[in-house]
């Protein structure tokens, strides 16, 4: 049974706000610089005493502007329009799924807010395979979720249905209370909004395994998901983001066309080394938007 959709959250055009704040900061800097030049001219004429309080005020304003521009990178250029933004997420819930990695869990309301703000700011969403198809539409965002946590069905799916937004989930063969069941995987795939990709059978450290074992982990997981879904899968995520030339070759050998890493930066041109941007837990909405669209929120 499909979970109920959450109440709507109105998106905000944060890109427009970024432009307004950037212009306001520039105007403030120009005003302070004009004031300093005027004071310099007064001092040149011997009128220095009245300018001391104004100079102190100017320095305070300059410090405040510098703090704002360093704390909120609203002026930082966006990622190129033709390069998809790939976000890395895991669990979607109020509770932290992995105590040792709290940033792997995002609250449902925070994810809903981020999706709504990106949509209102002119971004469109695609699955990883769609985004890797040429040509990719400008301002494309890809939501990816590692591990196949059970809360992806309970908390993520309602958001995807509400927003009509696709996503890519990288599932292992692990079963149980914390992970998606076969029935849930099929249900999510049947919505047409969720692409499933491989993540190895047991979520293993691939570089630590002998080559034969690493090959078996990748191939067995792919084969199981394809049997379950009834169609080929083309996307893969390296567990723990650990990979090298051998793991890349094994993913290609298994038939994967695209693979994502945990690296924040890297060339988009290599389909088996696609970088992703993480959104840490409890990141404020504007900072989350800046992280997604610029790769950083502050200096």
Half-sphere exposure of 120 (CA within 13 A, CB side): 16
Asked whether residue 176 carries a pLDDT value surpassing 70, the answer given is yes
Average pLDDT (135-164) is 94
Cβ pair 265, 286 in contact under 8 A:
no
- For position 267, what pLDDT does the model report? 67
What is the C-alpha to C-alpha distance for residues 158 and 257, in angstroms, rounded to an integer? 29
DSSP secondary structure code for residue 153 in this structure? I
Predicted structure pTM score: 0.89
Instruction: State the number of CA atoms in the 13 A half-sphere of 268 facing the CB.
Output: 15
Residue 258 burial (10 A CB sphere; 0-12, 13-18, 19+): buried
Per residue in 225-267, pLDDT (tens digit) is 999 999 999 999 999 999 999 999 999 999 999 999 998 777 6
The pLDDT value given to residue 58: 77
pLDDT digit string, tens, across residues 80-133: 888 899 999 999 999 888 888 888 899 999 999 999 999 999 999 999 999 998
The CA distance from 219 to 148, in Å, is 18
């Amino acid at each position: 049974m499909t979970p109920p959709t959450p109440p709507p959250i109105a998106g905000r055009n944060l890109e427009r706000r970024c432009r307004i704040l950037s212009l306001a900061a520039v105007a403030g800097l120009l005003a302070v610089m004009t004031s300093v030049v005027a004071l310099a001219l007064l001092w040149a004429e011997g009128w220095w005493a009245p300018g001391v309080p104004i100079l102190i005020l100017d320095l305070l304003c300059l410090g405040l502007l510098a703090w704002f521009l360093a704390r909120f990178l609203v002026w930082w250029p966006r990622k190129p329009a033709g390069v998809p933004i790939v976000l890395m997420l895991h669990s979607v819930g109020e509770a932290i799924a992995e105590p040792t990695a709290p940033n792997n869990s995002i609250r449902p309301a925070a994810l809903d807010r981020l999706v709504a703000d990106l949509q209102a700011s002119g971004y469109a969403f695609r699955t990883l395979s769609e985004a890797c198809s040429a040509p990719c539409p400008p301002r494309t965002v890809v939501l990816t979720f590692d591990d196949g946590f059970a809360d992806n069905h309970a908390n993520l799916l309602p958001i995807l249905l509400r927003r009509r937004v696709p996503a890519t989930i990288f599932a292992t063969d692990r079963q149980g209370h914390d992970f998606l069941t076969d029935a849930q995987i099929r249900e999510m795939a049947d919505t047409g909004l969720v692409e499933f990709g491989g993540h190895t059978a047991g979520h293993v450290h691939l570089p630590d395994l002998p080559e034969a074992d690493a090959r078996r982990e990748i191939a067995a997981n792919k084969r199981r998901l394809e049997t379950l879904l009834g169609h080929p899968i083309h996307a893969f995520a390296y567990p723990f983001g650990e990979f090298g030339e051998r793991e890349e070759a094994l993913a290609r050998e298994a038939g994967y066309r695209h693979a994502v890493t945990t690296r924040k930066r890297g060339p988009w041109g290599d389909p088996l080394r696609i970088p992703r941007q993480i959104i840490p837990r409890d990141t404020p909405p504007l900072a989350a938007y800046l992280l997604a669209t610029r790769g950083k929120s502050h200096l």
